[in-house]
Amino acid sequence: MRPELFIQVFVGIPLLGFLLSLIISRSREMFISRLAFGTIGVNLLAVMIFTGYWLMEGQPTLNLRDFSIFKTQGYEFFVDFCFDKITAVYLLVGSILSFLVTLYSRYYMHREEGYKRFFNTLLFFYLGYNLVIVAGNFETMFIGWEMLGISSFLLIAFYRDRYLPVKNAVKVFSIYRVADVGFLLTMWMSHHLWHENITFVKLNDAAFVNEHLASHSAIGVFISLMILISAAAKSAQLPFSSWLPRAMEGPTPSSAIFYGSLSVHIGVFLLLRTFPFWEHQFSIRILIGVLGLVTSLVATGIARVQSTVKSQIAYSSIAQIGLIFIEVAAGFENLALFHFAGNAFLRTYQLLVSPSVVSYLIREQFYHFVPREHTVEDSLPKRIEYSIYMLCLKEWNLDSFMYRYLWNPMKAAGNALGFFSVKRVVVFFLVVTLLGLGVHAIAPVLPDAFVRSLPFAFALLAVTMVLKSFTERKNVLASWLLIIANHCLIALAVSFNEHFGLDHIVIYLSGVVCFGILGYLGLLRLKMLEGDINLDRFHGYVYEHPKVAFTFLLGCLGIAGFPISPTFLGEDLIFTHIHEYQYGLAFLVALSFILNGLALIRIYARVFLGPHVKSMYEMAYRSS
């Protein structure tokens, strides 16, 4: 048997364990935990045996082209697996830590209402993590990348009857959505650069890469910048650092495995995996190094003034990842891998013992208080020292920065569209669609300059639709319909580019339509049971209507392009038909995908999560 065929086992075992965990009754705690423990344990054993064999064989780079999902002229979406030194380190560290955290969680989560839900999500995360690590191309990696994003949201919002965990889950998902779109733009421009679905093994061929970049240096810089944005957002580097401590609202074991060790280092993995592509782009290497250095300095200062142990650990981890960014940029691959393993094990340990440490420190401060010793900050002038202290105490206003320059302008634009109602949405959409189809039919006789401007115009209308959905606070059905209209207008916009056939439109919109109907029926069912539903507050209907909530979540994931819907493939197809010079169109489509993902998860969170609308007890608005 070819050794590369064994790579499929690292995905197959977690997939089988996850599927089995879904059908177990939530009352059988012992069986659920043993299944999760056994699944990860068997996978860990397989990883250790295979890695030992791989080392004895001389550490060859293994590549397995598994199967093709979709193929057409000039485009192919296929699943590819790769195993090398980077894969081996990340797989071993991930499997060991997941095994230990699962063992810890069996008792830590005992008698929790969401015990089964926790282990379902943990196995789902482990499946997505392994898929990212063994991926041999961007498309395969993106499948696991999306799994990590949704499992993060579900675990942060684990205590879904509280306000802050749900709010922070939405906030973290918003940053993850930026990383997702950066990844999509990377794949978009890669298709135009290589004219194929490039594998990471080919990226290791320096002559092949340099031949393509020699005449397309601007495209190379763009791809590298998109990779950096995705990595920085996923690994909580500036200006995205503020999401990591907010993600600690979930259970301690999930904080340890996600935000202390594995998920937060995926950005580093992306940089390591694509290093052969951008290693000769000196400006990009300087940018990555400077970003890591600045993040490390800022995060270290913030960590020193935090009042909660989880926040201290979070910012300390961000600082260390900043140093790993510097090591990757300098080309120290082995040092970066060693640093990743050490940081992952340390942060997992710190988070798992954090409850005990807090109890110990509370006692120590009463009986063994020692005044603060002289620190390096005391050598600075007092004005500078106090200024740095206040900035660190306010976390350098990173949250305010994101709101002021990213989300608030979008909300203001959406609020200006307050005249849209359900009827007006339908009428406007039908008029624009019919107009677009009519123009499409007579496009050959229209001036070329006018036809070239149409994709941008319709993409702008699509953004208008989703901006309104993103800020809608009254009519949930109108918000849902606006998201579907956004997808339809994107398809119409890109259809003005050549070679965009009807079969591609069907692939993209079939998932949108099917899952859109599923979600719409879920909302209608809930409206029939509960009366009028708005988006002005959290309602917490998941407790009374869990089946409706699960159905609606599937609808949200299908429309957002999660890998359960043809829309996942359709999003990549959409970008392949955007020309390399149409940066404005690519920006508008990317913005649409960011906002429709946020609008979808916002609807789900406000309707089904949070404090129950019928509760007679007040819930805390904020927590530590």
For 365-402, what is each residue's pLDDT tens digit? 666 666 667 777 767 777 887 788 888 888 787 777 77
CA proximity to 301, closest of 375, 207, 219, 410: 375
Scanning 394-475, the segments in alpha helix (DSSP H) are 398-402, 408-415, 422-441, 448-471
Tens-place pLDDT, residues 404-450 = 777 677 777 767 666 666 677 778 778 877 887 787 777 777 787 77
Q: What is the pLDDT of residue 498?
A: 66
Inform me whether the pLDDT recorded for 535 exceeds 90.
no
Mean pLDDT of 573-596: 84
Tens-place pLDDT, residues 137-183 = 888 898 888 888 888 888 888 888 888 888 888 888 888 888 888 88
What is the pLDDT confidence band of residue 615, given thresholds at 50, 70 and 90?
low
Inform me whether the pLDDT recorded for 584 exceeds 90.
no
What is the pLDDT confidence band of residue 624, given thresholds at 50, 70 and 90?
very low
Q: Lowest mean pLDDT of 74-88, 402-416, 547-561, name the range.
A: 402-416
Q: What is the pLDDT of residue 296?
A: 92
Q: Residue 368 has what DSSP assignment?
A: S
**Residue 366 parent element (H or E):** helix 333-367
Inform me whether the pLDDT recorded for 587 exceeds 70.
yes
Q: What is the pLDDT of residue 45?
A: 94
Q: What is the pLDDT of residue 368?
A: 67
User: What SS3 class is residue 82?
Assistant: strand
Cα–chain center distance at 349 = 24
Q: What is the pLDDT of residue 617?
A: 53
Mean pLDDT of 242-269: 85
Residue 611's contacts (CB-CB under 8 Å, 6 or more residues apart) are: 161, 162, 163, 538, 540, 619
pTM equals 0.90
Mean pLDDT of 84-88: 92
Q: What is the pLDDT of residue 248?
A: 82
Scanning 70-199, the segments in alpha helix (DSSP H) are 85-108, 115-134, 138-156, 163-194
Q: Which residue has the higher pLDDT, 277 or 209?
A: 277
